[in-house]
Amino acid sequence: MSTSSALLKRISPQEALSRATRPLPPIPSEVPTILEDIRTRGADAVFEWARRLDGFSGDAFEVPRNRMIAAVEALDPGLRAHLEEAIRRVKAFSEVQKTCFRDFEILQEGVCLGQRIVPMQRAACYAPGGRYPLPSSVIMGVVPARVAGVEEVIVLSPRLHPITLAAAALAGADRVFDLGGVQGIAAAAWGLAGVPRVDLVVGPGNRYVTGAKRLLYGDVGIEFPAGPSELLVIADGTAKPAWIAADLLGQAEHDPDALPMLISFEETLIEAVNEELRRQLAELPPDTPARASLANGFAVVVTDEAEAMVLAEALAPEHLELQGPRAEALAAQLRTYGSLFVGEGTAEVFGDYGSGTNHILPTGGAARFTGGVFVGTFLKTLTWQRITHEGQRQQAFQAIALAEAEGLAAHAASARMRLSI
């Protein structure tokens, strides 16, 4: 196959490094316009935008409890069993994660210090309602929030699909709203149109949803501004080209802006993967977004494991697969990714659908400084201190000296008063 006909373009390691910086896409101009309208007109604007953009026709966004129960009862028994198994696995993993967080206190020289771990009071889990229903995203948001102990967990999803509603009920959501988009994020951030004001919004969404989350950060917490899906596969010559191609297409079909990437030690593997991509793409629906997103991706041949490491760490992918012994040997050394999948049998799609880890993950290189959504996303670390009479003098002298060095006279005066006790 010629390079020009390859679906996954071959580029040099240097060019791949130049693509490691992936700035957040600009916020669509419609987003601030919609937000300002909602800020000005409140609930009326939320309803108007929901009708205009999502075809909403009701007089209330909240779904009655009996409709949630009916959605569960209407599920195919086999599908319900699979949803429940995914919930069980994500819950079990989240429960172990929670054990990493604990209250403690220490005493040192008259100063008692401590921390408390507390859950947020109310969180919203967003599930897109566009091209595909995503009940799996409901599970990834609701279950860790529930395990964290969040007092009220709500789900937002526009054009609410019955399977999304059923997943919310099974995962333990308290309330579900048939609302999304910019208007849904605004309603949750400001407490409008029957939606309670939340402390945090998590979950994937299109560029309008992500733009709203970015602009409303501060009014409401967010996990991170998520962008298009990414998968980097590092593979040696023993890996199966068909499996690699299938995994790349699985992520590529999320969105036309998705980013499939392949690093290999052998050029022949890249050629074989491109052949498989061509064959498998022909079997997908003609309107699949994968066709467009493959053009965003690339393939790189590296000379050794060290070069593969440098590229992987710089690219900081959302999902990282290692296939073949040479690639798998890098697992313990890599540390910049959203989630790692080790071994050719460990398909990224298993993480999407409930092997146990979370699939709401950082994109655009954000894995350099954050991990994905987990039980800790919904917890707050509160610190406290109590200083004894004996500790006050030492702390006062220390605070006075440092405050005066900084030129902050009122700080020094506050500390000096404690010397008179």
Yes or no: domain 30-222 corresponds to CATH 3.40.50.1980: yes
The model carries a pTM of 0.94
Tell me the C-alpha distance between 11 and 239, whole Å. 20
Residue 139: predicted pLDDT: 98
Give the Cα separation of 195 and 214 in Å (integer).
20
pLDDT tens-digit map of 387-405: 998 899 889 999 999 999 9
E-assigned strand segments in 315-419: 319-323, 339-342, 379-387
Residue 390, sorted as left (phi over 0), alpha (psi -120 to 50) or beta, turns out to be: alpha
CA dist 160 and 141 (Å) reads 16
**Which regions of the chain carry the CATH code 3.40.50.1980?**
3-24+227-356, 30-222
Contact 328, 239 (CB under 8 A): no
Segment holding 234, helix H or strand E: strand 230-235
DSSP 49: H
Q: pLDDT tens digit string along 241-251?
A: 999 999 999 99
Half-sphere exposure of 71 (CA within 13 A, CB side): 20
Lookup: tokens for 246: 């299938």
Query: Which residue numbers in the chain have pLDDT < 50?
Result: 1-4
Helix (H, G, I), strand (E, B) or coil at 343: coil
Fold type of domain 3-24+227-356: Rossmann fold (3.40.50)
Residues annotated as catalytic (active site), given as ranges: 318-319
| Three-class DSSP category at 321 | strand
**What is residue 368's three-state secondary structure?**
helix
pLDDT score for 3: 46
Q: How far is CA 357 from CA 91, 191, 296, 389, in A?
A: 9, 31, 27, 48
As given in the structure block, the two tokens for residue 328 are: 């798998």
Q: What is the pLDDT of residue 421?
A: 61
In whole angstroms, give the CA distance from residue 171 to residue 72.
11
- Closest alpha carbon to 167 in 142, 198, 201, 130: 142
pLDDT at position 131 is 74
**Distances, alpha carbon 338 to alpha carbons 32, 125, 201, 343, in Å:** 29, 19, 19, 17
Quick one: 353 exposed, middle or buried, by C-beta within 10 A (0-12, 13-18, 19+)?
middle
**Beta-carbon contacts of residue 59 (< 8 Å; ≥ 6 apart):** none
First to last CA, the chain: 84
